[in-house]
Structure 1
Amino acid sequence: MDETTESLWDPAGITRFQEPPPAVTAARASLASSGVHLMPAVAVRAHCGAGEEDWARFATHWEDLARDRYASERGTCRLRRYGQFSLTPATGELSQLPDTPFVQPDRSNPLYVDVDRHFDPLTDAFVADPLLRSVVTLLGDLAGALEPAACWIAKVHPFRVVAPAGGEGQPTPEGRHRDGVTLVSSLLVGRRHATGGRSAVFAPDGHELFSATLDEPASLLVSDDRHTLHSVSPIRPLDPPRPGHRDVLVTTLTPA
């Protein structure tokens, strides 16, 4: 199969081979050349074929997250769940894998190297949401620009970072880091009463390759985790006496 022709999955569940949409082609080219790409919300929404009601339903899953006790131990209020899937690019088949602890490899996240972190599993409703399948298969199309894989392992983390009244929330308390994967992505799901949270991607020598504040739901930032580092600045309440939060879906892909 030619590298520019990928297996795409449509909302009806029909696998087909065709030229990728221009937004996907642009994202693949940007990833391959610079190691980072911001896919605008309008392009992500069009690719996923979902309307406002679908995205609103998807966002409700962030109301059913569990406290991250590991972040709490370091003074950050973060809610999350975690699960793994296998993705076969040639067919678009996405299968949930058994629940396991989350472990990051050596030379990646400096706070949790080789630490088994146990998080609450993804809810059945979240796993069954067709938008999750659309997003993960899109990421598989993008990751194919970085290296070939007959099967990807997708690690899926719905996150909510809370900025308490008068304080701040830390999306990445570890600072600049890698996740030890091929592709790392951050999909903005929503922000409420929050400012800050600027996402940045860096070359290994510390040179900033890209930075932006994701403020429109469905904006998708992807980067080549093999050759870059990433971080997100703190969030703060827009109105200091009121708490705020930032909801994202972080998904990483690595060859099986």
Structure 2
Amino acid sequence: MDESTESFRAPAETTVFQECPPAVVAARESLASTGVHLMPAATVRAHFGSREEEWARFATHWEDLSQDRYASARGTCRLRRYGQFSLTPATGELTQLPDTPFVQPDSSNPLYVDVDRHFDPLTTAFVADPLLRSVVALLGHVVGALDSAACWIAKVHPFRVVARAGGEGQPTPEGRHRDGVTLVSSLLVGRNNAIGGRSSVFAPDGPELLSATLDEPASLLLSDDRRTLHGVSPIRPLDPSQPARRDVLVTTLTPA
């Protein structure tokens, strides 16, 4: 695809910080000490200086996702797309990489270790959305608390999990797991008619480090994937006669 090698540079104030903003400082400190951090929606919105209409526009990309046939084979109704970028935090340059299958390494997701999964690529409109670039740029500055790298690989997964009327939807059918990366993040984009979907992060030996239901769009959960496990409880319809959905953007970073 033509957009697979397109580069973007967001405005300097959203990518290259002369002085580290409080939101980034707090996230870096939490990740370095406990391995997990929850950034409230109000903090995320204030950091980006974004308006309600910008988030509403961003959410429309979730209406253009494709069926995840691998999840369907296991009884989970999930829609998604997938793409990769290279990110240079020092300059804010974000370059989309060619489309490749998604493969998770050993000691990560037990359902799909070393399985080539082919997903539809990110749309051109989604890749060009300023909020996507702002989110990835923020993660590039936060991840510096965990490791130093001149360039990072950002893997971007917009997800929609659906619970049919009277049923449930499984955001993480694999249970507690790692993604085999350095930083894993989950940004809530929207929920509709849904209860449940509680996100939890655990120490490798079992204790819960943080548990929260992301219920306000722009809530951002971050964790050090090398020393934690994470999972999300099922969602169910609040009105059992209607389906429920949970839309998130999962973005992971690893050194290039």
Give your verdict on TM over 0.5.
Answer: yes
Q: What 5-or-longer segments of structure 1 have no aligned partner? A: 1-8
Question: For each residue in 1:172-212, what CA deviation from the matched residue of structure 2 results, as whole angstroms up to 9, or x when unmatched?
Answer: 00000000000000000000011100000000001100000
Question: Aligned residue for 1:208?
Answer: 208
Question: Aligned residue for 1:76?
Answer: 76
Question: For each residue in 1:29-79, what CA deviation from the matched residue of structure 2 results, as whole angstroms up to 9, or x when unmatched?
Answer: 000000000001111111122111110000000000000000000000000
Report the Cα distance in structure 1 between the residues aligned to 2:14 and 2:217, rounded to whole angstroms.
Answer: 26
* SS of corresponding position for 2:113: coil
Misfit runs of 4+, over 3 Å: 9-17
* SS of corresponding position for 1:191: strand
Question: Aligned residue for 2:130?
Answer: 130
Q: What 5-or-longer segments of structure 2 have no aligned partner? A: 1-8
Question: Aligned residue for 1:3?
Answer: none
Question: Aligned residue for 1:220?
Answer: 220
**Following TM superposition, by how much is the alpha carbon of 1:238 offset from its aligned partner in structure 2, in angstroms?**
0.4
Contact preservation (8 Å) 1:166, 1:237: yes
> How many residues are matched?
248
Contact preservation (8 Å) 1:11, 1:49: no
Question: Aligned residue for 1:151?
Answer: 151
**Following TM superposition, by how much is the alpha carbon of 1:24 offset from its aligned partner in structure 2, in angstroms?**
1.0
Report the Cα distance in structure 1 between the residues aligned to 2:131 and 2:14, rounded to whole angstroms.
Answer: 15
* SS of corresponding position for 2:226: coil
Question: For each residue in 1:116-169, what CA deviation from the matched residue of structure 2 results, as whole angstroms up to 9, or x when unmatched?
Answer: 000000000000000000000000111111000100000000000001000000
Change (3 A) 1:190 1:129: same
Contact preservation (8 Å) 1:204, 1:228: yes
* SS of corresponding position for 2:59: helix
Report the Cα distance in structure 1 between the residues aligned to 2:48 and 2:93, rounded to whole angstroms.
Answer: 16
Q: Which amino acid aligns with 1:116?
A: D
Question: Aligned residue for 1:233?
Answer: 233
Which region of structure 1 is more displaced relative to structure 2, 148-157 or 45-54? 45-54
Change (3 A) 1:228 1:15: closer
Report the Cα distance in structure 2 between the residues aligned to 1:133 and 1:96, rounded to whole angstroms.
Answer: 11
* SS of corresponding position for 1:144: helix
Q: Which amino acid aligns with 2:164?
A: P
* SS of corresponding position for 1:18: coil
Change (3 A) 1:16 1:172: closer
* SS of corresponding position for 1:189: strand
Alignment of 1:249 with 2:253, yes or no, is no
Report the Cα distance in structure 2 between the residues aligned to 1:220 and 1:240, rounded to whole angstroms.
Answer: 28
Alignment of 1:105 with 2:105, yes or no, is yes
Report the Cα distance in structure 2 between the residues aligned to 1:38 and 1:16, rounded to whole angstroms.
Answer: 22
Question: Aligned residue for 1:53?
Answer: 53
Question: Aligned residue for 1:179?
Answer: 179
TM-score, with length taken from structure 1:
0.95
TM-score, with length taken from structure 2:
0.95
Which region of structure 1 is more displaced relative to structure 2, 18-27 or 85-94? 18-27
Change (3 A) 1:170 1:22: same
**Following TM superposition, by how much is the alpha carbon of 1:16 offset from its aligned partner in structure 2, in angstroms?**
4.3
Contact preservation (8 Å) 2:15, 2:134: no
Q: Which amino acid aligns with 1:202?
A: F
Contact preservation (8 Å) 1:10, 1:48: no
Report the Cα distance in structure 2 between the residues aligned to 1:190 and 1:30, rounded to whole angstroms.
Answer: 25
Question: Aligned residue for 1:197?
Answer: 197
Report the Cα distance in structure 1 between the residues aligned to 2:10 and 2:61, rounded to whole angstroms.
Answer: 22
Report the Cα distance in structure 2 between the residues aligned to 1:97 and 1:60, rounded to whole angstroms.
Answer: 23
Question: Aligned residue for 2:5?
Answer: none
Report the Cα distance in structure 2 between the residues aligned to 1:127 and 1:83, rounded to whole angstroms.
Answer: 9
**Identical positions, percent:** 83
Contact preservation (8 Å) 1:11, 1:48: no
* SS of corresponding position for 1:109: coil
Question: Aligned residue for 2:24?
Answer: 24
Contact preservation (8 Å) 1:11, 1:134: no
